[in-house]
Amino acid sequence: MNSLLKFAGNLIEESKGAVEWEEAQDSFQALLPEDVRYRLGLPESFVTISDGTDVPEEADHHCIGFGTSLLERAISMAIELGPTASMRMPLVSSRKQTEPDPGRHFSFPNATFKLKGNRESWFDYWLWTFVVSAEADERHEEVHQVCVSSSGACCRELPELILDQALDWDRLKVETSEFQESKLNALFMIACDRALRQLDERLSGFKETVKRHHVRDIRRIETYFQNLRQEMEEEIQRRQLEGAALDIREEKMRRLAGEKSAKLLALQDKYRLRLKIRPITLLLARLPVRRFDLLVNRRKKQKRISVLYNLLSKRFDPVPCEACGEDTYTLGFCDDALHILCTSCLAQFKAQKKCFRCRGKRAPSTIKQVLKRLGLQDDGEVS
């Protein structure tokens, strides 16, 4: 399903409209309240909205896509309705269920653990919606939903589940004083990191197109200046130029080399990939979980940790690496403080006999650090 189309459908349903999806999930019919119809600039209250693919010219569809007025109006409407909301999922039925086993979902390559008990509780999950754009000689944009738990783990299966069900949940009244600003900033950086990573996974086709256009234009420039130089060399030979006339032609050829370099440098800027990320909404979802307390043993040391079984996704949340913040189900531990290490950080620890978390390494806490970890340059295009 097209993410923009889903965004529009959720927005209409949140605004008390009715949405009925086509079987192919590439369009839906919507019955709009009058104020929603006006805000979206649509001519009728009963409309069909599609992603614009395989739509016959005679079809009376309203397409939503980047660059369309419908999307611009929808984003403005989402912001006007309030960029934040809080919901709480109802308690799950208490019917007898199979007890989840942490040992079947997590591995402990250099430690052992004992289960010390489990209990049901509530846990907060933060669902950000981003508009992310990639721009070079062309523009590619997508809407991304990223869900980060209060422990800093990114749960990739939760956005779809929450968005599908949250409209039926009770509103949750919270005060901003309940949450530390520094904690929310850290979670937001994780969400930005994951949104950019998701975009990177989907950008392979776009990158190939940009690369192909870049190579094509380089060849055109090289061919153009090669032909100019060849014409001048042939003119010199044909006319047997000497003296001042020869000097003029040779000076022109030297200038051609400089002009060629300048145009190739300009191409690098034209085809440099720029990413822009813009958050538009934030949903706090308080979900029921089962918290498992584990006592981890590493050599002669012990550490108590908790892992969460999410009762909405019906699976364990990953655990963030304490050194780099990466989500992992493979829990390694350093020798001194028993910091939780992902597979990559554990390999570095084994190779260098030093724990990077003990030496002060942490997950990125600023946009610049996020971009640096992803191999991207901050030029002001990410906001």
For residue 334, give the nearest of 362, 319, 356 by alpha carbon.
356
């069909």: which residue's tokens?
48
Domain finish residue from 15, 47, 82: 82
Residue 378 lies in a domain: no
Which residue, of 250, 273, 296, is where some domain finishes? 273
pLDDT of residue 330: 96
- Residues 279, 307: one domain? yes
Enclosing domain of residue 308: 85-204+275-373
Q: Kindly give the confidence (pLDDT) of every residue in the chain, 383 residues in length, as a single tens digit, with 9 standing for 90 and above.
A: 577 788 888 888 888 899 999 888 888 999 999 989 988 999 899 999 987 666 555 457 888 877 788 888 887 787 666 677 888 999 877 555 678 999 999 999 999 999 999 999 999 999 998 888 888 888 877 888 999 999 999 999 999 999 888 878 888 888 778 888 888 888 999 998 888 888 777 777 888 888 889 999 999 999 999 998 888 888 888 888 888 888 888 888 888 888 989 999 988 888 888 878 888 889 999 999 999 999 999 988 999 999 999 999 999 999 999 999 999 999 999 999 999 999 999 999 999 988 989 988 887 777 777 777 766 666 544 43
Whether 311 maps to a domain, the answer reads: yes
| Any domain includes 383 | no
In a domain, 379, yes or no: no
**Which residues have CB under 8 Å from 345's CB, separation 6+?**
321, 323, 324, 326, 332, 356, 357
Q: What is the rounded CA–CA span in Å between residue 354 and residue 370? A: 23
Alpha-carbon gap, residue 310 to 63, rounded angstroms: 36
Question: Tokens 């061919």 identify what position?
Answer: 223
- Nearest alpha carbon to residue 136 among 278, 4, 268: 268
Provide the token pair at 236: 């010199």
**Is the residue at 381 inside a domain?**
no
Helix ranges, 294-383 (H)? 343-352, 367-373
Same domain, 254 and 264: yes
Q: At what angle do helices 69-80 and 3-14 cross, to 10 degrees?
A: 40
B/e letters for 14-49, b = 16+ CB within 10 Å, e = fewer, are bbebebeeeeeebbbebbbeeebbebbebeeeebbb
